Amino acid sequence: MPPRKRQLNVGLTDEEREQLEKAAARMGRTLANEIRHRLQQTFQDEREFDAVTRMLGRDIMRLASEVDLTSGGTSGGRWYDHAEAHAAVAAAIAQWLELIKPLYSRGEPMFDEISPGHGLGDPETLGRTVARLRFFKQRDDIAYHIEQEKKRREQGINQEKADKAAKRPHQKEDKT
């Protein structure tokens, strides 16, 4: 038996409600399920990641967005649609990580100082291994979401064209 659900009155601005309704429609959810999903995702993120790691995730998303905006995102493409934009995102992330690198002078341990019993090895090998494991675990999910996003963009572009066409005044040909 599913857990009992209780009603909760929450005040939202018209803009917030509209954003939620659009997101729910885009994802094929009811408004209540969209709100529940977003809450559950937030709680899961808070359980899995500390505040600094969550901030890094948002920073990476913003870097990808900035690359989209500066690399011709007006053509409708995203960083994952083009090899050059993908390379730009990778470079931006690498640069960002370099900029926020911990200062070892503050007494934080370096990889060389961690005992071999921890099994960490060198940072490059560890990083590549973690990334590969995560990728193989998620690759079907990533591919699915990329395809869904492309479909949503196409639908949005088609809807936008239809909306513009509907707003144009209908002109009749003058046959005189």
49-85: per-residue pLDDT in tens? Answer: 988 889 999 999 999 988 888 876 545 678 888 888 8
Predicted confidence (pLDDT) per residue in 28-42, tens digit: 999 999 999 999 999
Amino acid at 80: Y
Confidence of residue 168 (pLDDT cuts 50, 70, 90): low
Cα(89)–Cα(151) distance, integer angstroms = 22
Count CB neighbours of 66 within 10 A.
Answer: 15
**Do 34 and 27 form a contact (C-beta atoms < 8 A)?**
yes
Cα(77)–Cα(90) distance, integer angstroms = 17
Q: What are phi and psi of 34, to 5 degrees?
A: -65, -45
Cα(100)–Cα(39) distance, integer angstroms = 29
